[in-house]
């Protein structure tokens, strides 16, 4: 596969966040990942980003709202990335590899944020929970459709269960957030190539 075909497109989120808000949610994600969502306070978030605690409330009304912003921003960015990849050039196999690369990139480069996005969203409630669930379902649908395109093109085995393959791919990619900071020699290139070979070779038409 060519480098151009497999390079991830790191799209911007559609949510309108100011630079200060982005800095705040990045700092909060690091605190959440380190101390746990229920184990940290707004004061710790303020200290992490060098802001007065009272100033945070000009941007977010509560810790719950910050978590909602972290997860919404992350979900929108993942969705924008896969849609940009699918709208671009490349065979289904090249696009699958590009999706894998784009998916694992934040887990390697922005480990605290990715960890909070994956594992802290269980604490979401109300509208934020519903919004992030919609984003997750939309992402899964895009990925499953891409796999089906590979099956229809003859590149992937037509007998595979596309839904199970989608969940397996997501589980494999999301697992990176567990060990990216502990495993020596981890790079985006190494993980992307290994995962792509493992998954695509297993699904490829014989």
Extract the tokens encoding 29. 């994600």
206, pLDDT greater than 70: no
Q: How far is residue 56's CA from residue 125's CA, in Å, rounded to a whole number?
A: 20
Please provide the CATH number assigned to the domain covering 62-203: 1.10.357.10
Q: For 191-200, what is the mean pLDDT?
A: 85
- Using N-to-C axis directions, what is the helix angle for 162-174 and 188-203, rounded to 10°? 160
Tell me the pLDDT band of 5, cut-offs 50, 70 and 90: very low
Domain ranges of the chain: 62-203
Q: For 40-54, what is the mean pLDDT?
A: 85
Tell me the pLDDT band of 54, cut-offs 50, 70 and 90: confident
Q: What is the DSSP string of the chain?
A: --HHHHS---PPPSS---HHHHHHHHHHHHHHHHH-STT--HHHHHHHHT--HHHHTTT-SSHHHHHHHHHHHHHHHHHHHHHHHHHSSS-HHHHHHHHHHHHHHHHHHSHHHHHHHHHSGGG--HHHHHHHHHHHHHHHHHHHHHHHHHHHHTSB-TTS-HHHHHHHHHHHHHTHHHHTTTSTT--HHHHHHHHHHHHHHHHB--
Instruction: Note the pLDDT tens digit of each residue in 100-131.
Output: 999 999 888 888 888 888 888 899 999 999 99
Tell me the pLDDT band of 51, cut-offs 50, 70 and 90: confident
pTM equals 0.82
């Amino acid at each position: 596969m060519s480098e151009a075909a497999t390079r991830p497109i790191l799209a911007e989120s559609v949510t309108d966040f100011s630079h200060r808000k982005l800095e705040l949610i990045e700092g909060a994600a690091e605190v959440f990942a380190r101390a746990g969502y229920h184990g940290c306070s707004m004061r710790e978030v303020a200290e992490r980003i060098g802001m007065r605690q009272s100033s945070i409330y000009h941007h977010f009304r509560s810790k719950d709202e910050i978590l909602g912003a972290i997860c919404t921003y992350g979900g929108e960015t993942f969705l924008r990335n896969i849609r940009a990849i699918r709208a671009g050039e490349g065979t289904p196999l090249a696009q699958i590899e590009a999706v894998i690369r784009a998916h694992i990139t934040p887990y390697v480069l922005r480990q605290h944020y990715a960890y909070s996005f994956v594992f802290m969203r269980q604490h979401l409630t109300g509208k934020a929970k519903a919004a992030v669930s919609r984003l997750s379902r939309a992402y899964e649908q895009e990925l499953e459709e891409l796999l089906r395109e590979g099956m229809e093109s003859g590149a992937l085995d037509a007998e595979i269960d596309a839904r199970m393959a989608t969940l397996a791919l997501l589980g494999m990619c999301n697992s990176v957030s567990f060990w990216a900071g502990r495993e020596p020699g981890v790079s985006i290139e190494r993980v992307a190539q290994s995962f792509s070979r493992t998954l695509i070779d297993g699904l490829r038409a014989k």
